[in-house]
Structure 1
Amino acid sequence: MDAGSGSDLVRAGYNALSHHYRGDDDPTERYDAWLADLRTRLPAQADVLDVGCGCGIPVARFLTAAGHRVTGVDISDVQIERARRLVPEATFIRADATELRFPDSSFDAAICLYSLIHMPLDQQPGILRRIAQWLRPGGWLLAAVGQDAWTGTEDNWLGGPATMWWSQADAATYRSWLRQTGLQIIDQDFIAEGDSGHALFWAHRP
């Protein structure tokens, strides 16, 4: 499967399953703990980029309530439409994250929770390099990525009428890619999920 068709599956999948994936009022305790941690690291009225923002919940809603300025980006039209309705205080862009461009030093933090692994594997190092450039000195990256290498699809994802696609490296590879960006890895955790899980990284721009 080529990169374009993979991205097309992701866009179509989240368009079809947006509400199934997360309702307007679904609980987000795990995310809230991460975001509360991030909030302690941010300056007042920080500029935050949320790559793969979904419907704006929980990241944009949580951080705008704390007085921060959030720019969310997502490939799904439906997710962005919902985000603009649910979190009108934030800015949302419908775009393929692999094509994003921002000026250097635009953000105090960038968040990529389970979004990088929906992008073509060969483009992920470049995305991480650009994110590092978009961070201001002292900025933070919070990313949930692959623990084990895998590329593939799942039909009827979440019991819904759509196929989802992922492409991910293993945690050691993501650690290497992050180091190559010049970011300092501050912490790495394992998020257990079923028989496997994901890797959670905190990285800092000196």
Structure 2
Amino acid sequence: MDVEDPKDLVRRGYDLLSKRYERAFGSETKYGSWIGQLLDRIPDAATVLDVGCGTGVPVARSLVTAGHRVTGVDISEVQIRRARELMPDAEFIRADATALELPQESFDAVICLYALIHIPLEEQPALLERIASWLRPGGGMVPGHHRAPGLDRD
């Protein structure tokens, strides 16, 4: 195992544990308050980026059901493949979020639940700056368990 690349370790771990992780943590209850917070803040038919989307359950499912357009990104090929099967009405991209290229001001909101903990600390500031650039004016981020002050855009 290459312990020199922590992101590869995370990717391989989620590839192996995808179904088990979903059974253990895919319920609405764990993420419900964060999803509700996001739904209260976004306009109708909003475009939302889900960083670290996993299988799309429950975040993308909840947002699509509420009439929003969701793009999910995850480093795990297995998670993305399952997300595409489970949530065909959302778009999913297999990518390392720190290398993701997206147009500026292309999302009304970004949700990132437990993904930042898997990204090396030295890469987090640049990622957060890029996330801020992807937000439309007035957009914001729901970082889940993480606090990311200053990401709300004017």
TM-score in same-fold range (> 0.5): yes
- List per-residue Cα deviations over 1:53-89 (Å, max 9, x = no partner): 0000011000000000000000001100110011110
Conservation of the 8 A alpha-carbon contact between 1:132 and 1:205 = yes
Report the number of matched residues: 152
Question: Which consecutive aligned stretches of 4+ in structure 1 deviate over 4 angstroms post-superposition?
Answer: none
Cα distance in 2 for partners of 1:87, 1:99 equals 24
Structure richer in strand, relative to its length: 1
CA separation of 1:26 and 1:122: change in aligned 2, threshold 3 A: closer
CA separation of 1:25 and 1:145: change in aligned 2, threshold 3 A: closer
Structure richer in helix, relative to its length: 2
CA RMSD after TM alignment? 1.8
Conservation of the 8 A alpha-carbon contact between 1:70 and 1:91 = yes
User: Counterparts in 2 of 1:106-145, with a 5 A limit?
Assistant: 106-145=106-145
Which residue of 1 is the match for residue 153 of structure 2?
A: 205
Which residue of 2 is the match for residue 80 of structure 1?
A: 80
TM-score (norm 2): 0.92
**Between Structure 1 and Structure 2, whose CA radius of gyration is higher?**
1
Higher relative contact order (CA 8 A, sep 6+): 2
CA separation of 1:88 and 1:25: change in aligned 2, threshold 3 A: farther
Structure 2: gaps (5+ residues): none
> What is the deviation of 1:143?
0.5
Partner of 1:29, secondary structure, is: helix
> What is the deviation of 1:24?
9.6
Which residue of 2 is the match for residue 32 of structure 1?
A: 32
TM-score (norm 1): 0.69
> What is the deviation of 1:144?
2.9
> What is the deviation of 1:10?
0.3
Partner of 1:83, secondary structure, is: helix
Conservation of the 8 A alpha-carbon contact between 2:26 and 2:58 = no
> What is the deviation of 1:125?
0.2
